[in-house]
Amino acid sequence: MRASPKVVLVLEDEKPLLEAVRLSLTKNGFKVITARTVEEAKEQLCTTTHVDAIWLDHYLLGRENGLDFVAWCREDGNNKCKLVPIFVVSNTATPEKVASYMSLGAEKYFVKSNHKMGDIIEEIKKSIAA
Amino acid sequence: MRLKLSFKILLLLIGIFAVLFLSFAFVSYNSQKKNLTRAFTERATATASSLEAAIQSREEAENTQGISLNIQKSMLLDSEIESVKFYKLQGDRLVLSVSSDSAMAGQVADADNQGAFRSDTRSNSLVGFGVNEMLKVVTPVHVSGAVVGTIEVDFTLENVNAAITSSIINLLAIYLFIVALLLAVVYLVLKQIIIKPILNINRALDAVADNSFNYKLNIKSGDEFGALAGAFERMAELVRTSQESLNNRVEQQTAEIKEKADDLAKERSAILNILEDIQKKEFKAEQLAADLAKFKLAVDSVQDQVIITDPEGIVVYANAAVEKITGYSVEEAYGKKAGTLWRMPMNRQYYEHLWDVIKNQKQVFIGEIINKRKDGNLYVAQISIAPVLDKNQKLLYFVATEHDVTREKEVDKAKTEFVSLASHQLRTPLSSINWYTEMLLDGDAGPINEEQKKYLMEVSIGNRRMIDLVNALLNVSRLDLGTFMIDTAPTNIVAVTKSVVEELKPEITHKKLKVEEHYGENVPEFQADEKLLRIIIQNLLSNAVKYTNDAGSIWVDLKVVPQGGKVGSVDVVFESIALSVSDSGIGIPTEQKSKIFSKLFRADNAREAETEGTGLGLYIIKSIIDQSGGVVWFDSETGKGTTFYVTFPVSGMKKKEGTKTLDL
């Protein structure tokens, strides 16, 4: 019996990148939920049963950014994403930003352009499996 | 002199004798005159008596003729009788009765006759003068005992006077002769008794005046001159001795004076020197004052705050910038403890540490501080407080400069944000290309042939280069801004090196390179920023791999070098950790060696051999090494190979305050 696919929520404002990630994740057997704003992500979370991982960019459309999303996620009452591993995939990586994400409980921080999608996906797989 | 005194005495004598003579002559004359007057008076009396006798009765008295005859007779008897006059009382008046001369009878009698008549006394008087002098004798006439009139007998004194005169002249002659004799005698006597001694004394005095004390006075007379001579000699002796002692004293004093004069001259020249010094000092003081004015002006116009305090922190000077930055005026700042005005919004420990550094350790404190402006706003400043010590290491002042970095911080923050955004904007399309190429190569859009794969690989490689360049540029921008930080912790450099080698294994294997690693036995953990260390080692090793041809060799050497030891051909100043990465690669052309560490530079042969490379790697690591207290250099020969050396003191990398880290 095939296990139900793991769900990944992808938050990314750039359309082409969002599409590429969706394709790759789908190829790797994940179910992908996409959002380009924090608001959209919250909406998506409402309609979905659960998520197993979050692929999060920092700069997003709308007023709120990735950091705001993580903060919201980790609040009580958001049981859908409170304990979900968050993988930050961003092109900006100032020490403050990284520290902030990590202190809020992000799993890992990737500089987008330095990695193949495949590598990041492998990391996600490992993390979920653990 | 001789004449004068004698002359004076002679004159005096002459005077005396003259006076004597005159008085004698006078007396003589008068007595002669008296005698003569007596004589004449007697003769007149005789005449008058005879007349009187003749007139015995009143009738006789009336008989003028008879009287006249009588008168004539008398006159003949005495030739000197000039005239005879008979005055008779007629009524109540005395009038001329009979006269020998032509005088008119009846004339009233003059005063003399009247007087003699009334007083019944004879009178005689002299009338006229000179040749016409006459003796007038008036005798009262009695008849029967009563005075009836007077008889005036006038005698001419012409002859008498002449006789007197001649007798006096004779007297005078005799007198003068005697006087002359006397004077001569007196003169000679004087000369001997007085003049000579005086002249003698004079000569002696002259001799004394000429400082010759040998002149001897020979005055043996027992009188006053002798005494004088004796006194003189004593005096001369006194003068001599006193002169001598005076001379001695004068000599002595002259010597003393000369000495004093010399001393004064010395003092004077000393004073002149002092004056000169004072002048120089004054000039110097003026110069210093001018310099001080310049400096004060300069400091006042500086943009940063400059505050000088005493060892307790009380403000003694604050420049104009203090007001500009803090809003507190210079007057408000004076006399207060520095910091109280700025209400020290930071935590207590910060200030305690600050004071410890400047007061106890007497070191310069440099750091960032947050102060409050007068309007309550906070601002960030770069502060530097330097203690000023005297030569005994005693605290004199603190000099604090404060650089308001608020704006700089804002600029910095803006720059950082900009870099962040820029990196995002640059990297996003690169990520896009990267990932779509990845999907194509993975066959996600369908199978691809070899040629397609080849092209896609090129796209990927080009993209990779761009990404590397963007990463490197971002690091360079952080390095240039100077605000990247070096955060040190004990680091196992051996482990880092090994891991970097491990990372490069795929490429090493692909190029069939031989890598030899030598790690010193006692390489310690040393204070380092691991991330930066990794960047350095990565760059050196990846360069070695990149620029060594297939089947080449790479040597990695990591050890501790003591002070005075050598790294390559270079002497080591202090105990260091030394890393060297050698390769048998293409080497660096000599004429391009000087540019090897410059931004975006790639040597010609490097570009030829390997298209990939930003030209920023060595610039970045040199920047890091320079700022963290290390040294980097290289030896190279084209065609033979290159060796890069990096040393750090065992004490570790220099910590650096900053806000950013570099990216790998």
pLDDT digits (tens, 9 = 90+) for B233-282: 788 788 788 888 888 988 998 899 899 999 999 999 999 999 999 999 99
Q: Tell me: pLDDT of A1 over 60.
A: no
> Considering the domain boundaries, does residue A78 fall inside one?
yes
Evaluate whether B337 touches B312 at the Cβ level (below 8 Å). Answer: yes
Evaluate whether B367 touches B346 at the Cβ level (below 8 Å). Answer: no
- At residue B219 the predicted structure's pLDDT band, cuts being 50, 70 and 90, is low
Domain B484-649, what fold? Answer: Heat Shock Protein 90 (3.30.565)
DSSP A32-62: EEEESBHHHHHHHHHHSS--SEEEE-SS-BS
Instruction: Please tell me the distance from the alpha carbon of residue B437 to that of residue B288, in angstroms, as a whole number.
Output: 75
Residue B459 is predicted with a pLDDT of 93
Query: What are the phi and psi torsion angles at B32 (to 5°)?
Result: -60, -45
Of the residues A91, A96, A111, A116, the best mutation for testing chain B's interface (the one with the most B CB atoms within 10 Å of its CB) is A91
Residue B446 is predicted with a pLDDT of 92
Evaluate whether B136 touches B124 at the Cβ level (below 8 Å). Answer: yes
Instruction: Please tell me the distance from the alpha carbon of residue B90 to that of residue B408, in angstroms, as a whole number.
Output: 168
Average pLDDT estimate for A67-73: 91
Closest Cα in chain B, distance from residue A104 (Å):
20
A82 CB within 8 Å of a chain B CB: no
A116 CB within 8 Å of a chain B CB: yes
- At residue B659 the predicted structure's pLDDT band, cuts being 50, 70 and 90, is low
> Considering the domain boundaries, does residue A29 fall inside one?
yes
Of the residues A113, A115, A122, the best mutation for testing chain B's interface (the one with the most B CB atoms within 10 Å of its CB) is A113
- At residue B498 the predicted structure's pLDDT band, cuts being 50, 70 and 90, is very high
A123 CB within 8 Å of a chain B CB: no
Q: Which of A27, A58, A113 sits opposite B431 (nearest CB)?
A: A113
Whole-number percent of chain B with pLDDT over 70: 95
Note whether A16 contacts B442, CB cutoff 8 Å: no
Q: What is the CATH number of the domain that holds A101?
A: 3.40.50.2300
Note whether B427 contacts A111, CB cutoff 8 Å: yes
Closest Cα in chain A, distance from residue B490 (Å):
20
Residue B212 is predicted with a pLDDT of 66
Instruction: Using an 8 Å CB-CB cutoff, list chain A residues near B432.
Output: 14, 16-17, 20
Residues contacting residue B24 through CB under 8 Å, at least 6 positions apart: B171, B175
- Closest by CA to B547, choosing from B476, B615, B646, B500, is B615
Q: Tell me: pLDDT of B632 over 90.
A: yes
How many CB atoms neighbour CB A10 within 10 A? 24
Average pLDDT, chain B: 85
Residues contacting residue B403 through CB under 8 Å, at least 6 positions apart: B304, B305, B381, B382, B383
Residue B101 is predicted with a pLDDT of 81
Query: What are the phi and psi torsion angles at B565 (to 5°)?
Result: -75, 180
Residue B1 is predicted with a pLDDT of 55
Minimum CA–CA partner of A21 in chain B: B435
Q: Which residues pair with B147 in a beta bridge?
A: B142
- Closest by CA to B660, choosing from A92, A114, A56, is A92
Evaluate whether B513 touches B476 at the Cβ level (below 8 Å). Answer: no
> Considering the domain boundaries, does residue A37 fall inside one?
yes
Note whether A91 contacts B444, CB cutoff 8 Å: no
Q: Note the pLDDT tens digit of each residue in B185-201.
A: 887 887 787 778 778 77
Note whether B444 contacts A23, CB cutoff 8 Å: yes
Strands B395-404 and B378-389 turn out to be antiparallel
Structural domain count, chain A: 1
Closest Cα in chain A, distance from residue B653 (Å):
20
Query: In Å, how far are A48, B261, B262, B273, B545 from B266, measured between CA atoms?
Result: 114, 8, 6, 10, 88
Tell me: ipTM over 0.90.
no
A71 CB within 8 Å of a chain B CB: no
* Helix residue spans in B85-157 (DSSP H): 111-119
| CATH code linked to domain B31-167 | 3.30.450.20
Query: In Å, how far are B499, B501, B558 from A73, measured between CA atoms?
Result: 36, 40, 47
Closest Cα in chain B, distance from residue A103 (Å):
18
Note whether B420 contacts A24, CB cutoff 8 Å: no
Residue pointed to by tokens 């790797």: A28
Query: What are the phi and psi torsion angles at B117 (to 5°)?
Result: -60, -50
Element at B609 (helix H, strand E): helix B604-609
Instruction: Please tell me the distance from the alpha carbon of residue B227 to that of residue B231, in angstroms, as a whole number.
Output: 6
Residue B454 is predicted with a pLDDT of 94
Note whether B436 contacts A20, CB cutoff 8 Å: yes
Q: Tell me: pLDDT of B589 over 90.
A: yes
Residue B37 is predicted with a pLDDT of 74
* Chain B residues in contact with chain A using a Cβ-Cβ cutoff of 8 Å: 416, 420-421, 423-424, 426-428, 430-432, 434-436, 438-439, 442, 444, 467, 470-471, 660-661, 663
> Considering the domain boundaries, does residue A2 fall inside one?
no
Residue A30 is predicted with a pLDDT of 94
Q: Tell me: pLDDT of B430 over 60.
A: yes
Residue B482 is predicted with a pLDDT of 66
* Helix residue spans in B78-106 (DSSP H): none
Closest Cα in chain A, distance from residue B641 (Å):
31
Higher pLDDT, B421 or B405: B405
Q: Note the pLDDT tens digit of each residue in A22-66.
A: 999 999 999 999 999 999 999 988 888 889 999 999 989 888 999
Instruction: Please tell me the distance from the alpha carbon of residue B31 to that of residue B42, in angstroms, as a whole number.
Output: 16
Q: Which residues pair with B489 in a beta bridge?
A: B528
Closest Cα in chain B, distance from residue A77 (Å):
33
* Helix residue spans in A64-116 (DSSP H): 66-73, 95-103
Instruction: Please tell me the distance from the alpha carbon of residue B401 to that of residue B54, in angstroms, as a whole number.
Output: 165
Residues contacting residue A4 through CB under 8 Å, at least 6 positions apart: none
Closest Cα in chain B, distance from residue A94 (Å):
7
A21 CB within 8 Å of a chain B CB: yes
Average pLDDT estimate for B562-590: 90
Strands B526-528 and B553-561 turn out to be unpaired
Residue B555 is predicted with a pLDDT of 96
Range with the largest mean pLDDT of B150-159, B320-329, B430-439: B430-439
B185, HSE (Cβ side, Cα atoms, 13 Å): 6
Structural domain including A111 reads 7-120
- Closest by CA to B645, choosing from B577, B564, B553, is B577
Residue B512 is predicted with a pLDDT of 94
Residue B217 is predicted with a pLDDT of 66
Angle (deg, nearest 10), helices A117-129 and A15-27: 50
> Considering the domain boundaries, does residue A125 fall inside one?
no
Residue B484 is predicted with a pLDDT of 74
Q: Tell me which DSSP letter residue A5 carries.
A: P
Residue B58 is predicted with a pLDDT of 61
Residue B230 identity: G
Please give the distance of CA B471 from its chain centroid, rounded to a whole number.
74
- Closest by CA to B493, choosing from B458, B464, B520, B453, is B520
Instruction: Using an 8 Å CB-CB cutoff, list chain B residues near A90.
Output: 424
Q: Tell me which DSSP letter residue B659 carries.
A: S
Q: Which residues pair with A56 in a beta bridge?
A: A11, A88
Q: Which of A17, A27, A90 sits opposite B435 (nearest CB)?
A: A17
Instruction: Using an 8 Å CB-CB cutoff, list chain A residues near B415.
Output: none
Closest Cα in chain B, distance from residue A49 (Å):
29
Residues contacting residue B638 through CB under 8 Å, at least 6 positions apart: B586, B587, B588, B589, B590, B605
CATH class of B307-403: alpha beta
Q: Which of A30-39, B125-134, B211-220, B578-587 has the lowest mean pLDDT?
A: B211-220
* Residues 95 through 114 of chain A touching chain B, CB cutoff 8 Å: 95, 111-114
Element at B33 (helix H, strand E): helix B2-54
A24 CB within 8 Å of a chain B CB: yes
Note whether B424 contacts A111, CB cutoff 8 Å: no
In chain B, DSSP finds a helix count (H) and a strand count (E) of 16, 19
Query: What are the phi and psi torsion angles at B512 (to 5°)?
Result: 55, 40
Q: Tell me which DSSP letter residue B635 carries.
A: E
Note whether A92 contacts B423, CB cutoff 8 Å: yes
Residue B2 is predicted with a pLDDT of 60
> Considering the domain boundaries, does residue A76 fall inside one?
yes
Residue pointed to by tokens 């803006």: B414
Minimum CA–CA partner of A59 in chain B: B424
